[in-house]
Amino acid sequence: MTTYVYQRVLLMIPTVLIASVLVFLLVRVLPGDLAAAALGESASQEQVEAYRERLGLNDSLPVQFFDWISGVLVFDFGESSVTGLSIGATLQNTLPVTIELAVFSMVAGLVIGVPLGMLGAIYRGTFVDVLSQGVAILGLSVPLFVVGLLAILLPVIWWEWSPPVTYHPIWEDPIANLGQFVLPSTILSLRLAGVNARMTRSAMLEVMGSDYIRTAHAKGLSPVRVWSRHALRNALVPIVTISGIQLVTLLGGVVIIEQIFGLPGLGRFLLDSVGPRDYVAVQSIVLVMAVAAALINIAVDMSYLVLDPRLRVSR
Amino acid sequence: MRQNYWTTRVSRRRFVRATGVGSVGAAALAIGVACGDDDDDDEQATSPTSSGSPAATQGTTTATESAVAGPPRGGSISTAASQDPVSLDLHHEQNVWHQLGVVYSKVLKQVKGGVAPDLATNMPETPDDRTIVVKLREGVRFHDIEPVNGRELTAEDVKYSYERIATDQPEYQSRRFITSIESIEATDAHTLTLTLKEPFAPLVNYLGYPTMVIVAREAVELTGDLRQGPLIGTGPFQSTNIQPGVRYDATRFANYFEEGKPYLDEFSVRVIPERGTVVAQFRSGDLSYLPDATPDELDQVRSSVPDVGSERGLRNRLRTAMNTQSGIFADPRIRQAVHLATDRPEMIDLMWGGEGEMYSVLPSFYPGVLTEQDLIGRPGFRENKDEDIAEARALLEAAGYGDGLDVPNYLSLQLSVVPDAVTIHAEQLNRAGFNVTLQPIAYADWTERMLAHDFEIAGGVTSMRLDPDDHLFTEYHSAGPRNDPDLQDPQVDELIAQQRRIFDESERSNIWRELDEMMLDVVPYVPFFVTSLNVIWQPGIQGLTADGGRMNYFGHVLADVYAE
């Protein structure tokens, strides 16, 4: 098993390296000039040229890449080409916000989705099943920005109340922090909950037809115990897999949700950096996201071993 | 729809005409109120050479009674910004930020009607046309923050700040305002003498530009620049908390040079990127005031807060630029055809609920320029648009495009409401015989291509400036840094140069009008309209003004604001 873990971690290195090269090239393929955008509508061509030189944008691409990646290897992400602020420091401030949002959303997705799927499986073919499936499909199909904006606007129209949007770090004011994260996390979790509900339902249905479930019932175990201890546990492997994949896609959703709910996270940092073509910032953020995605995938792979003893044996 | 528009417009114009004297009176009163608790110098000394804007703003709530009785002290006020400043160093900034502006003062300040003394005791004296003498207030103190520790401001600080702005480093974006200065001398502790390379009338207005703030040398030398602060100025509020991406807080500066001001104890700006969220926060009462509200947003707010205060100001100029040196638009007949085919009233109706203003080069709040009233009925502004379209078609035919002209790459800047305007414009051009294909373009790409004149036709937006010269030289002079259409017209250059040398505003304004007229023929840009935006505030807040948008929310304005 240890060898397997090492293999997965080692495989992560070329993955991240390829991702870093790709993102480095992609941001430079984007039309537009960082220096011109940064200096604004009143800058002359000469000023723009001088600024390009200062930022090192006239260096060859390999030189620019080497400068950046050699810093990244020692956790020095450099400075934003637009604001001049340390990207490492900004990542340090924004990453916890996004992690908190992602974790809460993940939890909410499981808390909402798994019971919904279980209900659908247990009451298969009934109104409860239809309702749970309907809710799941709604969660999957309604775009995040629509739900997010409605969640901001409707309370104002109905109750003249608007959700709090001024960020408080959890270590400074946990109550205010949780109060601010409830709504965005729930909204961000809707898609995840929908996927979880559908996956749970189908996995549960498959498991519930098994002999050992019939045996458990025959032993006289309570239905709740059968569903939770026997059926759900065995249905968890595909749910964990899909949750891991969803967590990676969820990183895309944070861009929208952080924007709407005023959360100063990684998504907003990315959006703010893409507009003015802040190459170094965009590269660094995407690299961090790529590393996060790779780590999540490793964690998902590891979790199989915990959840399914057969896999432990085969490794 | 057009019929309705014109009916609305005429009645609005009639209203303005009917209340013209009253408006001027009201504006004067508003200045009086705004400056009522300033020292009297402000009102007496408003720049005779400054550009006026009060006629463009129409207040719906005023604060006269309370101001006369003496505004109450205390309370706090909050607003929202869509993003952080690029830098905490205002000398690097091209934009205007409330959270930074409240901390600083300038030699002059922008008020309704132009500029007025801020740190100066009076408007600058001009012993000759190459010398400007500024007398500074005595006893002005910096904020009591390390390393400046509340010391008194002197002429050396102003000299230092201007010399800092004048550096040739590209990020010092206000440099263009003071390139006309040859030397700066602190004649004594409170007198500054600016010697100009040549006569340059706009300089007085530029000294009131929101980024021309006075900083302390010690603050800069602390870390080498002010990108990350500290924010130490002589403004009415002292910065207490900066959380990038979250909020900026400031408290009342007790030693502010205008005695008794500011009235409020606290001021904060929250960073909320999504505009819908900002409006919702205002509607729920979590924000005190909201700048730059569109007519739609004002309606939304009024549906939940009917007694909200508001004032309207002119804001951005929407327009399209055409390359005058290469491509199909180098032919003036084609440019004229585009101008004729442009139906501004329809655009204003569709995009802005009839609340925009037509213009030629300069918006009507600059004195003497062509107003909407002057333009109506002229080619391109005719009430019967069919006449314009027929003329546009004739011009196309004369240019050899009787069967229609393909415009395969009309650039549409993806910023603000520009895509809406350009989409409508493309449809209007198609009605007149063009066959337009739009090409959306991001800001970073757009800026680069405009600088290189690498385009044929490009729809964009530009913000208001404090002095007409900032529009004219920058955008129309052959050496202008953002002469996007690459206009090379010696006559235009000469007129722009002339208005720079004339200190008498009425004489200057004659040239502005001449340029206004001339550009209707040359048409390097096709003007769409000037957007009007509102500042809106919660009931109980007094003293806020619009005056062309957010530029005015700079320190001195918030010093006048109070909560009942």
Q: Give pLDDT tens digits for B447-473.
A: 889 989 999 999 999 887 888 999 999
**Exposed / middle / buried, residue A161 (Cβ in 10 Å: 0-12, 13-18, 19+):** middle
Give the mutation candidate from A94, A95, A165, A255 for the B interface (greatest B CB count, under 10 A).
Answer: A165
Q: CA-to-CA distance for A209 and A272, rounded, in angstroms? A: 51
The values of phi and psi at residue B118, to 5°, are -120, -80
Number of residues in chain A: 315
- Cα separation, B535 vs B57, in Å, equals 11
Q: Are A36 and B444 within 8 A, CB to CB?
A: yes
Longest dimension (CA), chain B: 74
Measure the CA–CA gap between B391 and B183, rounded to whole angstroms.
53
Q: Percentages helix, strand, coil for chain A, rounded to the nearest 5?
A: 80, 0, 20
Q: Are A225 and A243 in contact (CB under 8 A)?
A: no
Q: Is pTM beyond 0.90 here? A: no
Rounded Cα distance, B184 and B155, in Å: 10
More confident of the two residues B324 and A58 = B324
pLDDT over 80 (residue A12): yes
Q: Which of residues 91-150 of A touch B (CB under 8 A)?
A: 93-94, 149
- Min CA distance, B243 vs chain A (Å)? 10
Chain A: residue nearest B245 by CA?
A: A264
Q: Are B494 and B500 in contact (CB under 8 A)?
A: no
Cβ distance B433 to B404 under 8 Å?
A: yes
pLDDT band at B70 (very low <50, low <70, confident <90, very high): confident
Interchain contact A41–B (C-beta under 8 A): yes
**Among A156-165, B323-332, B512-521, which is the least confidently predicted range?**
A156-165
Give dist(CA B358, CA B171) in Å, integer: 34
Mean pLDDT, residues A172-178 taken together: 93
Question: Which residues of chain B are within 8 Å of residue A278 when distances are taken between CB atoms?
Answer: none
Q: Tell me the CA distances in angstroms from A234 to A116, A231, B217, one per residue in order.
A: 17, 6, 69
What does the alpha-carbon distance between residue B25 and residue B19 come to, in Å, rounded to a whole number?
9
Strand, coil or helix: B14: helix
What ipTM did this prediction achieve? Answer: 0.85
Using CA atoms, how far apart are residues B236 and B118, in angstroms rounded to an integer?
A: 12
pLDDT digits (tens, 9 = 90+) for A70-109: 999 999 999 888 888 899 999 999 999 999 999 999 999 9
**Mean pLDDT over all residues of chain A?**
88
Q: In sequence order, which residues have a C-beta less than 8 Å from that of residue B214 and are 6 or more positions away?
A: B104, B105, B106, B107, B119, B153, B157, B158, B161, B233, B234
In the block, tokens 């009931």 appear at: B539
CA distance A280 to chain B (A): 15
Residue A242 pLDDT: 82
Amino acid at position A315, single letter: R
- Answer whether B531's CB lies under 8 Å from B356's CB: yes
Give CA angle at A121 (A115, A124), nearest 5°.
Answer: 130
What would the pLDDT profile of A232-263 be if each residue is shown by its tens digit?
A: 888 887 888 888 888 878 877 888 999 999 99
Contact B385, B391 (CB under 8 A): no
Report the 10 Å Cβ neighbour count for B210.
25
Nearest Cα of chain A lies from the Cα of B318 at a distance, in angstroms, of: 14
Residue B68 confidence (pLDDT)? 52
pLDDT band at B66 (very low <50, low <70, confident <90, very high): very low
The string of pLDDT tens digits covering residues B275-299 is 999 999 999 999 999 988 999 999 9
- Contact list in B for residue A58 (CB cut-off 8 A) is none
- What residues pair up with B312 in beta bridges, in sequence order? B58, B534
Q: Measured between CB atoms, does A32 come within 8 Å of chain B?
A: yes
Task: Give contacts of B246 with chain A, Cβ < 8 Å.
Answer: 166-167, 262, 264
Confidence band (pLDDT; 50, 70, 90) for B25?
A: very low
Most A CBs within 10 Å, among B308, B317, B448, to test the A interface: B448
Q: Does A241 touch chain B (CB under 8 A)?
A: no
The three-state (H, E, C) secondary structure of A77-144, written as one string:
CCECCCCCCEHHHHHHHHHHHHHHHHHHHHHHHHHHHHHHHHHHHHCCCCHHHHHHHHHHHHHHHCCH
Q: Are B297 and B308 in contact (CB under 8 A)?
A: no
Edge-first strand listing for the sheet containing B237-243: B76-81, B266-271, B247-252, B237-243
pLDDT of residue B44: 33
| Cα–Cα distance measured from residue B476 to residue B474, given in angstroms and rounded to the nearest whole number | 6
pLDDT of residue A312: 65
pLDDT (mean) for B68-88: 87
Q: Do A45 and B452 touch (CB under 8 A)?
A: yes
Residues in chain B: 564
Percentage of chain B modeled with pLDDT above 90 = 65
Nearest Cα neighbor of B127 from B194, B45, B41 is: B194
| Candidate from A22-36, B57-71, B94-108 with smallest mean pLDDT | B57-71
Dump pLDDT digits (tens) for B329-341: 999 999 999 999 9
Residue B320 three-state SS: strand
For residues A196-210, average pLDDT? 89
Q: Is residue B18 pLDDT above 70, yes or no?
A: no
Of all residues in chain B, the percent with pLDDT exceeding 70 is: 86
A29 touches chain B (CB under 8 A): no
